[in-house]
Chain A
Amino acid sequence: MKVLVVGTGGPLAQGVALQLKARGHEVMGMDRRPWTDAPKGIPTFNVDIRKRAAEDVFRTQLPECVVHMATVNALTAGGEERARINVGGTRAVFEHSVGHGVKHVVFVGRHTYYGAGVDSPLYHTEDEPPHGIGEFPELADLVAADLFAANALWREPRLCTTVLRLVYTLGPSRQGTLASFLKGRRVPMVLGYDPLFQFLEEGDAVHAIVHAAEQRVKGIFNVAGPSPVPLSSIIRYTDRIPVPLPEPVLVRLFGRFGFPKLPRGAIEHIKYPIVVDGRAFKRVTGFQFQVDEVETLRRFREIASVDFK
């Protein structure tokens, strides 16, 4: 199968490209950020998905499957540019795919789509609308990109569309929302709250995406990992120090004294859990994570201890 992976400037997308290649597929990468040590067998196109040159890649290379991983998830990223990349980029992926004979698009979204809030259910299923965008407007572009990808299911019935809502990932890249939150020695918590966090080891996340691409499953799927773990346990097990602070104090300290820089709305995400039900994806693809929650955190502790040295 000829696969184009969009977003290969990021470590997770690079992992997907490498694994697809290792499994015998013809793989290409695309990102405006370079993949400096890309292997020779994986040609990469250093273009922005929203520009004309990107469409040329679709036209000339005629991929059969496109894995779209060029969304910006970091909550610290700037609003307008992030929205342009997430919504504009997703639109471009689908337009070029429909226009140039792509059979299957895999959109890799995030479980934060569902939002966190006081009255959110603990386990989210794929048929739920997003919660809490009102409190966290910075999430709106990710939600919009997800919904745009999801409505391709009826808008473009001849195209096989897979929308994945992937939990946080932790692994060697030390990148991603959760890894960034754990970057400092002292990790803030909201006093009186200790939400569950759900995560996948990076290798398992790569397996899940490759599974979806190979099996060409149509629909929207949560991709969950092992059992969720309370934030306080994650912090302690990775040798960090939890610093519980009253909410009004904490919001004033974001971005200061070594605390992560987060928008005001992100506070709900460290008060309440976002946990997804991944049974549908497992049933359809047979995906099973290989690394449990304890081992994932143990590995991350070893890798990320360098952050303090």
Chain B
Amino acid sequence: MGSPTAKEVIDRMELPFNGFGIDPYGVSKKHMAQALAVFGWLYRNYFRVKCQGVEHVPKRGRGMLVGNHSGGYAIDGMMTVTAMALELDPPRLAQSMTEKFMNALPGASLWTSRTGQFTGLPEHAERLLHDERLLLVFPEGARGTAKLYKERYSLVEFGTGFIRLALKTKTPIIPFGFVGGADAVPSVRNSKTLGKLLGVPYVPITPWGLALPAPTTCQLHFGEPMHFEGSGDEDDATVRGWVGQVKSRIAQLIDEARAARKARVTGGGDR
């Protein structure tokens, strides 16, 4: 039996779609299936993503996937959302918290809304978790995608909001490391002038000039869920300590993913 079609995958998602195929957040079966058909192909054939540790992601109930940015724009986010649809059984919708400019752009606004990728507002994150959804968070924010190729395995400063939210909503954090995105979009510099013209914070400039991604090999590693006890009102020093624990774990997962990817690329492992 072959792989299920994108439509079959979406049909198996446990979301409360109404008679129009729309869930209460505006997630559309039709748009999801169209997006998954494209991103599923990219996942398997263009970015050749290998996923490990997916068993650590809860099959149901609230969860927060927390990972690093890799590459000039959020290929990591798109591939992680795709991994949750293709690798989990039953498939799940990971809902990322996007930058505000995405909702302002024609087309991007429509597609992010219909695929459940909402602006990163505390109200959105909290509501989705209370509704037992799976949240995708990149605590590096836009600073993470702005990393240049030479900084690709580093982590910039993490925000602390995700830990407070996890504490407040008693949500497990599932850390992950993503590598390969920086080879797809290896930023040598970021053009803010071009960004201003297009209504985005910056445009990554690659050695071939354009920000079009090159085919590459990506690796996505999930770690065991991390649980923190508290109310979310803890002092900054305590919260920063927990943020540091998550950051260290993500750094370890990046190292593991790098080793696994190197083995694939050099032929020493499963390609």
Residues of A within 8 A of B (CB): 118-119, 121-123, 190-196, 226-230, 233, 237, 246-247, 271-273, 292-294
Contacts and interface: CB of A to CB of B under 8 A. Distances in A.
B165 to A, nearest CB: 14
Contacts of B41: none
Q: Is the interface of A mostly helix, strand, loop or mixed?
A: loop
A190 B110 CA distance: 10
A188 B103 CA distance: 20
Contacts of B18: 226-227, 229, 292-294
Contact of A119 (B22, B107, B121, B127): B121
A294 B124 contact: no
B106 A190 contact: yes
B270 to A, nearest CB: 41
A192 B19 contact: no
Nearest to A233: B20
Contact of A123 (B104, B113, B114, B127): B127
A226 B20 CA distance: 12
Contacts of B25: 122
B259 interface: no
Given A230-B28, A271-B109, A121 B23 contact: no
Nearest to A277: B127
Given A192-B109, A230-B28, A271-B109, A122 B19 contact: no
B105 A192 contact: yes
Contacts of B23: 227
B244 interface: no
A272 B103 CA distance: 9
A192 B123 contact: no
B28 to A, nearest CB: 7
Interface string B23-62: 1111010000000000000000000000000000000000
Contacts of B124: 121-122
Given A118-B104, A292-B18, A294-B20, A230 B123 contact: no
Contact of A294 (B19, B100, B110): B19
A199 to B, nearest CB: 13
B153 interface: no
A229 B114 CA distance: 11
Contact of A193 (B22, B109, B118): B109
Interface in B85-140: 100, 103-110, 113-114, 118-119, 121, 123-124, 127
Contacts of A196: 26, 113
Q: Is the interface of B mostly helix, strand, loop or mixed?
A: mixed
B109 A233 contact: no
A80 B266 CA distance: 74
Given A227-B18, A293-B20, A122 B110 contact: no
A191 B109 CA distance: 10
A190 B106 CA distance: 8
Contacts of B119: 118-119
Contact of B26 (A228, A246, A294): A228
B19 A121 contact: no
B54 to A, nearest CB: 28
A122 B118 contact: yes
Given A227-B18, A294-B18, A119 B26 contact: no
Nearest to A128: B123
B106 A273 contact: no
A226 to B, nearest CB: 7
Nearest to B103: A118
B26 A122 contact: yes
A132 B27 CA distance: 24
B75 to A, nearest CB: 22
A79 to B, nearest CB: 28
| Shortest beta-carbon contacts, A-B, top 9 | A192-B106, A121-B123, A294-B19, A192-B107, A196-B26, A227-B18, A118-B104, A227-B24, A194-B110
A228 B18 CA distance: 10
Given A191-B106, A196-B26, A294-B19, A119 B100 contact: yes
Contact of A292 (B19, B22, B108, B110): B19
Given A118-B104, A123-B127, A292-B18, A194 B113 contact: yes
A229 B20 contact: yes
Contacts of A272: 103, 109
Given A118-B100, A121-B124, A194-B113, A230 B22 contact: yes
A271 B107 CA distance: 11
A246 B105 CA distance: 12
Contacts of B24: 227-228
Nearest to B108: A192
Contacts of A227: 18, 22-24
A229 B106 contact: no
Contacts of B109: 192-193, 271-272
B121 A123 contact: no
Among A123, A196, A227, A271: residue with most chain B CB under 10 A: A227
